[in-house]
Structure 1
Amino acid sequence: MVLAAGRGERMRPLTDRTPKPLLPVRGKPLMLWPLDALRASGHRRFVVNTAWL
């Protein structure tokens, strides 16, 4: 399970208009870094948690 939840409070004002998983980091969305690492290790299916309380 890849955790992509939360409102990104500590990343404000960047997250005022863009969800935290979509923020660009070194040229690609933050969410792609763990997914690319999983793909590189042979995984092809993922569960992504995007909910917060």
Structure 2
Amino acid sequence: MVALGDDQLGRLADMEQRAIANRVPGLARLSRDELVQIEPHVSGVAALHSPETAVVD
């Protein structure tokens, strides 16, 4: 999950709290600098990284 601007940081914090409550393994909050180290083509101000989860459709 990536917060594209400061106005989305509150929603990101809410998602982080829910993930913590659900014991999501390996969850990490990333700064902008940490984010681009993992995914250099993304731009955002902060992110949640969850390496042990996936998205399915």
What TM-score bracket applies, with the shorter chain setting the length?
A: 0.3 to 0.5
More helix by share: 2
Larger radius of gyration: 1
Greater RCO (CA < 8 Å, at least 6 residues apart): 1
TM-score, normalised by the number of residues in structure 1 = 0.36
